[in-house]
Structure 1
Amino acid sequence: MRKYDSIQLIGDILTGISFVTGSILNLTGAPSMYGQILYLIGSLALTVHPTIKIIRRTKINRNTS
């Protein structure tokens, strides 16, 4: 199950990086499309996080049954 923990941590880091980079791009006056794309990527990553948890819990329940 450590594999799923590692995937979640990497996903959390990438989510944070995408939101921070999107914020910096919006503050520096870069075209807003770049910031919006990074916000979209971050939002999708936030959706993937609970999905990975569900998959992990399902695998744990199958192994214990």
Structure 2
Amino acid sequence: MEQEFYQGLAQRVRTIAEKADPFTRRRLLDLAKRYDVKGGSRPVNPIERPLPAPRTTPPASIFSGPGEA
């Protein structure tokens, strides 16, 4: 029952997003994704971006040799 509730909310939010400006559309689609997760289903069109690798050393550009400013 709770799954149907959240799935219904996600669908309503997507319908509203179709008529919204780009900024609001993005926010509404993010909200719909959260409702999908709560409803137990996966997002319709997931876009996953890998996180950048953590740096273990500072970038070489901050090192300067002797005599360089």
**Taking structure 1 as the reference length, what is the TM-score of the superposition?**
0.40
Larger radius of gyration: 2
**Taking structure 2 as the reference length, what is the TM-score of the superposition?**
0.39
Larger helix proportion of the pair: 1
